[in-house]
Structure formats: structure tokens, C-alpha cells
Amino acid sequence: MMLSLETIFRKNDKVPWRVIEGEAILVKVDSGEVSHLNEVATEIWQAIDGKRKVADIIKHIHDSFEVKKEEAEKDTLEFIRTMADKKIIVAVNPPEKKKIKSK
Amino acid sequence: MRKSLEVKIAGLSAEIRTEDIQAFSFLRSKFIDFLSNQKKKDLTIEIRGKHPSSPDQALPRLVFEEGKYNLISEKKPEISLGHIDLERRNACISDFEDRDKILHSVLLCFALFIESSGGIILHASAAYKNGQGFLFPGPANAGKSTILKQLNEFSPLAEEWVAVKKDGSSFRMGSIPCQNASNKKAKLHHIFFPKKGKHVVFKRLGQKETAKKILRNCLFSTMHPEITGKVLAGVAELATEIPCYELEFPLNVRIDREINKLTGSDKKRLNRRRRILPEDFDLSRLHEPLILTWNCNLLCRHCRPYLPQEGTLSIDDVKKHLDRLAKNGILFLHLTGGEPLVHKDFWKISSHAQKKKFALILHTNGTLITPEIGEKLKDLNFLHVFVTVLGGNRQTHDYLTGVEGSFERTISGMRILKENDLDVILSTTQLKENQEEIPQMREMAENLGVKFRIVPFQTPNKKEYEEFNQCYQKNFQGS
């Protein structure tokens, strides 16, 4: 998955989900699998709104948790990559040339 | 009879002794939240020597004379009202008729000992949240008490006086027993000098300006150079290490969020492993059936007698209800009936439910499933489709459904659903007419490549049925 800090993601319309007591529960209809997201993942999931860039979400995570910027970036990118691979989230704009350096 | 009161204020423990029961009761009531039974006492305060008439109205003052800290009256300094011995860590205070003078003298003792051990006492209000403390020093009318009322998310720590002392690498602050303050402590994080204004404005202050402002609101229990020096050093340390701001704020506006934003005290601790819901969280809490209509194209013998003659929800009622369910955290929505597919707005309802992010589950008799319907159900991302089969063969099934040919149509419906890659569950209700055929139905499911489930049919008793119906009528005005 090509990922840029400028990419904007939205949730896949076909994924049923709820946030229960601060924990997101997602249903993968194809497999019937029910996933529970942890606190940070729930925050990222809720921030994916089809408007915010990946960079904005990283900033939001950094602002919301006691965490270093690098860690917020690592967590966010990892989550977004996994979710995009599983097609649970979809890129709204095509990734730009400027890519994130792999660490 | 001698009475003894053990208290701890700003980390300093003391024993207060007196033979005056009234003075004892008065102090006990003032220090009620600061009582302690710590064995090791930092100081002892003795109240003795009646002063039936105080020399003047003014509160006693502390001066250093002849190697001792003496409590004196402003107007008649020659009359001793008590003394404090720092080295021996004890004090003697006159038993004033005016109880407030006793309280003031006791607090002066504490102040002196706090200052001598490197602490400072500030004229300030204070609040805390998640163990993080915020100090609001200021003169009278600066807005110290007002600001506390506008900090909904914070707990108040003190309104008038706060002791601050360095503890390792951080500063601890604690309340002083006056104006009914309760005994609270917190780690000092930020200092804000309140100022009433039109908008919420934070102005970061430099060290010099901070030190000046702290000094203006700092208590000096005595002018003794050594003690004063210690207080000044404490102020300088505080101004250097704690971020200070001037906080301009309007009345009647919440400012806790602004403070949270500025100080980052709303940040959650990151714990990636932490599950919020308990491991044994019961997902069945997130399921809800929605009876779209009582109408049905079959006449099942075990069901029909209990169904009302008519009753269908209007699309607007359903939409409102779905919005409510979504808000209440329902995730799995079971569309049922009657036969839900006979509802004229079934597709609009399903589509709305999908937009509301429900996981959709259909309970149908399967007789109305056509290839087109199968495709539509797939498009709408139905999670499961439960198809009711009532017999292991055509005779039993059609007998129980009361409609000839229903068996073939149900089986055909299941095939179509399966072709559309939907998760199909052949569900049956065990009745005396079909209980022998359960193995055949199980086999039928296997042959069709679908799951099998026996669902109990609970005949509602009259009371339950009426209650359900009332609730249904109340919630839905559909014709």
C-alpha cells in the first residue's frame, strides 16, 4: 500500500461498526469476524472521516495521547496500512509522489 | 483536663495541646479534615495562659526578638502573646477569648515551620485533575474563586491559601485549613494568574515577571532574614521550573477545555494493550430485533394464532427508531416479522440501516427470494440470512406453513441466497409435528451448503403479548 502523509482516507461504507464505551467494534461481513479496536486504534478509526489527511490524524493522536510524535506517526501509519490492505478504509485521493521514508 | 489534637497540614504533623475544652472543640472543628494520627510529630503547639481581653482587634503578628519568634500585638508589642522555638520545634500560644486569634496563631506556627523547611504559602486558589494541580494566585477580587466555578472538569483544592513545597524534582501543593478548605494535595503543573477580561487569553510569563507576581501573593510569616531568604529562594525555584501564564477570562464561560488544551492535561495515557471493554463482554447486548410487519405470506400454524391481524411500521417510524438504536449502540439489527420482505419499503429501510452502519440480519421464510432479491441483499451487505424451514420434507413443511408449494419456494430461495455468496442459516422451530425430522433438516442444510440452527419458538403468554403490543403501538404509529 502506497501511503503518503497527504492521503485522505474514508471508512468503507460497507463496514458495520459502533463505538461502545470508547471501544470501536467492527464487523467484517465477508468472514463474519468481529474486531475490537484498542483505545488508540479507536481514536484513529474515528478520525478517518474522508476529510483529514494522514498527517492531520497523526497530529490528532499526538495531541490526544501522552506519546512522542514519532510513536504517534508509527502507530497511525501501521493502523492505516493494515486497514487499507483489508479494504476496511479506502483512499479518497491518490497518493502523491512524496512518500514516507521507511524506518 | 488536658486535650490533645493531632493534625497534619501541608505535610507537617503537629500535636496541639490545650486545657480549654472550648478552644479544643473550636480547633477540632476547624481542622476536622486535617486530623492525623501520625506517630512522629514535627512540632508541638501548646495553648495556655488566658487572655480574657485581647490588647486590640488586630490579629497577632510574628517577630524575631532575642533569639525567639514572638507573637505580639501591633498596638501593644510589649505584651507577649506567645512564642515559637524553631530549634526545639515547639510553640506556646495564648488562649485568646477570640477564637479566630487562636486559629490565626496556630496557622502562623505552621507557616513559619513550612517556610523554614523550604516551603512557601501563597494567597491563591487551586484545582486539580488526574493528579495534576493548577495554581491561581492573586489578590482579593482577582477572580481566584470565580475561576474555580468555571473549571467544571477540575476538582477544587483550595480557595484562599495554598502551601507549595519542592518534593524531589517536582512541586507538591496542599490546602491550608481555612474557609472550610478540605485536605487535598496535588503535584503542581502550571500557575495561572487570573485576570477578568472579555476573552480567554493566555499570556506566557517570563521568569522575572513570574517571580514578581508570585512574591506579590506570597505570605511572609516573619521578616527574619533567614526565613525570608528561604522563601525568596523557593519563589525563584518555582518561577524557574513551573510554567506560568497570565490568564484573562470572561465570566460564565467554561475554561477547563482551554486549560486542558494548553497544558495537555486532557491527554490520555497510551496503553496499546488496553482493552476498554471487559474480555467477557457480551456481544448479545448489541443485537436488536426489529419487527417490520406482522403481515406474512404464509399461515404457519404455530405462529399465526399469536399474530395481530395487521400492523406494519411506516418508513418514517422505522428510520426514527433506527437512529435511536444506532445511538444506543445497537450493531446487529435483525429484520424480522411476519415476513419482512412483504414490507413495501423493505429496501429503503435496509438501505437506511446500512447507512447507519448496522450489521444486517434477515429472518425470512425464503419463499419470496428471487435472483434479483438475492443480489440486492448481497449489495446491501447482509451479514446473515436466517431461512425458516419447518419440516424435513414437503408434506410436513407445507402442512405447518399452511401454504402449498412453500417448501419448494423456500429451498429455491436458499439456493439463490447461497449463489449470491450470502451467509445462510437454515433455522427451524422444533414442534411436535416436526421433531422426528430434525436429522433430515440438518442433512438438507448440509446438502445446500448452509448452516443449521434450531431456534426455540416461545409462545408468548397473554400478558407478555399484550405488553409487547402496547409497547409496539406506543413506539410505532404505523398503520
Give the cell for residue B419. Answer: 449463489
Cell of A32: 463474519
Q: Flag whether A13 is in a domain.
A: yes
Choosing among 3.30.540.10, 3.30.70.980, 3.30.420.40, 3.20.20.70, the CATH entry for B283-475 is 3.20.20.70
- pLDDT on residue B90: 92
Nearest CA in chain B to A27: B359
Residues of chain B found within 8 Å of residue A34, distances taken between Cβ atoms: 283
- Identify the residue among B271, B361, B381 best suited for mutation to test binding to A, counting A beta carbons within 10 A and taking the highest: B381
Nearest-angstrom CA–CA distance, B373 and B396: 27
Pick from B106, B100, B99, B107: which is nearest to B20 by CA?
B99
What is the pLDDT at residue B460? Answer: 46
Contact B110, B137 (CB under 8 A): no
* Grid cell locating B65: 526578638
Residue A17, classified by CB atoms within 10 Å of its CB into exposed (0-12), middle (13-18) or buried (19+), is buried
Q: Which residues of B391-423 are buried (b: 16+ CB within 10 A; e: fewer)?
A: bbeeebbbbbbebeebbebbbebbbbbbebebb
User: Are B250 and B196 in contact, with CB atoms under 8 Å apart?
Assistant: yes
Question: Considering the domain boundaries, does residue A66 fall inside one?
Answer: yes
pLDDT value at residue B461? 47
CA-CA distance, B94 to B271, in Å (whole number)? 57
Query: Is A65 part of a structural domain of the chain?
Result: yes
State how far residue A100 is from chain B, nearest Cα, in angstroms: 23
* Cα separation values, B231 from B96, B116, B238, B415, B443, Å: 29, 8, 11, 87, 88
H-helix or E-strand containing A35? strand A33-36
What's the sign of the alpha-carbon dihedral B467, B470, B472, B474?
negative
Q: Which residues of B208-218 are buried (b: 16+ CB within 10 A; e: fewer)?
A: eebbebbbebb
CB-based contact B269 A75, cutoff 8 Å: no
* Cα atoms in the Cβ-side hemisphere of radius 13 Å centred on B219: 25
Q: Would you state the pLDDT for residue B279? A: 74
pLDDT at B55: 62
Closest residue, chain B, to A20 (C-alpha): B329
Q: What is the structure's pLDDT at B478?
A: 37
Question: Which one, of B57, B27, B46, lies nearest residue B109 by Cα?
Answer: B46
**Is position A30 within any domain?**
yes
CATH number, domain with residue A76: 1.10.10.1150
How far away is chain A from the Cα of B190, in angstroms, using its nearest Cα?
Answer: 17
Closest-CA distance of chain B to residue A95, Å: 27
Shortest alpha-carbon distance between residue B81 and chain A (Å): 54
Which tens digits make up the pLDDT trace of A30-70? 888 899 998 889 989 999 999 999 999 999 898 888 788 89
Asked if pLDDT for residue A90 goes beyond 70, the answer is: yes
The domain limits of chain B are: 3-116, 120-263, 283-475
Q: What is the pLDDT of residue B316?
A: 87
Domain count of chain A? 1
User: How far away is chain B from the Cα of A3, in angstroms, using its nearest Cα?
Assistant: 23
User: Over its length of 479 residues, how does chain B's per-residue pLDDT go in tens digits?
Assistant: 788 999 999 889 999 999 999 889 999 998 988 998 888 889 999 998 876 555 677 788 888 887 789 888 877 788 788 899 988 999 999 888 888 888 989 999 999 999 998 999 999 999 998 778 999 999 988 888 889 888 888 888 998 899 999 887 789 999 998 766 788 888 898 999 999 888 889 998 988 999 999 999 999 888 888 899 999 999 999 998 898 999 999 888 888 888 887 776 656 666 666 666 777 788 888 999 888 888 889 988 888 777 666 667 788 888 989 999 999 899 999 998 889 999 999 999 999 999 999 999 999 999 999 999 999 999 999 999 999 999 999 999 999 999 999 999 999 999 999 999 999 999 998 888 998 999 999 999 999 999 999 987 655 445 544 554 555 555 443 33
Among B270, B286, B424, most A C-beta atoms within 10 A, so best to mutate, is B270
Q: Which residues of B touch A79 (CB under 8 A)?
A: none
How far is residue B76's CA from residue B63's CA, in Å, rounded to a whole number? 13
Among A10, A13, A19, A39, most B C-beta atoms within 10 A, so best to mutate, is: A39
Compute the C-alpha angle B181/B187/B188, nearest 5°.
85
Residues 6 or more apart whose CB falls under 8 angstroms from that of B171 comprise: B164, B165, B187, B188, B238, B241, B242
Using DSSP, state whether A7 is helix, strand or coil. Answer: coil
Q: Compute the count of residue pairs across chains A and B with CB atoms less than 8 Å apart.
A: 81
Instruction: Give a yes or no: residue A102 inside a domain.
Output: no
Name every chain A residue with its beta carbon within 8 A of the beta carbon of B274: 38-39
Give residue B130's pLDDT.
75
Task: Domain of residue A74: give its range.
Answer: 9-91
Assess if residue A1 is contained within a domain: no
Angle at B464 between CA B459 and CA B470, to 5 degrees: 125
- In one-letter notation, the amino acid at residue B233 is A
Q: What is the pLDDT of residue B265?
A: 61
Compute chain A's Rg from CA coordinates.
13
| Residue of A10, A12, A20 to mutate, testing the B interface (most B Cβ within 10 Å of its Cβ) | A20
pLDDT, residue A3, reads: 83
Instruction: Test A39 with B381 for CB contact under 8 angstroms.
Output: no
Contacts with B283 from chain A: Cβ below 8 Å: 25, 34
ipTM score above 0.90: no
Q: Enter the C-alpha cell of residue B297.
A: 405470506
Q: B307: alpha, beta or left, given left = phi > 0 and alpha = psi -120 to 50?
A: beta
Compute the distance between CA of residue B99 and CA of residue B275 in angstroms, rounded to an integer: 56
pLDDT number for residue B452: 94
Look at residue A101 and tell me if it is in a domain: no
H or E element that contains A68: none
Residues in chain B within 8 Å Cβ distance of A67: 270
Q: Do A36 and B331 touch (CB under 8 A)?
A: no
Residue A66 and residue B267: Cβ atoms within 8 Å? yes
pTM of the model: 0.56
What pLDDT shows up at residue B80?
A: 81
In a domain, A3, yes or no: no
Return the SS3 of A91. strand
* Confidence grade of residue A96 (pLDDT, cut at 50, 70, 90): low
The number of angstroms, rounded, from the C-alpha of B373 to the middle of its chain's C-alpha atoms is 47
Q: How far apart are the C-alpha atoms of B324 and B330, rounded to whole Å? A: 9
- Which residues from chain B sit within 8 angstroms of residue A13, using beta carbons? 354-355
CATH of domain B120-263: 3.90.228.20
Per CB distance under 8 Å, which residues of B are interface residues toward A?
264, 266-277, 281, 283, 286, 326, 329-332, 354-355, 357-360, 381-384, 423
By Cβ distance, the residue of B268, B270, B277 closest to A21 is B277
Q: Contacts of residue B383 in chain A, CB cutoff 8 Å? A: 16, 27, 29, 32
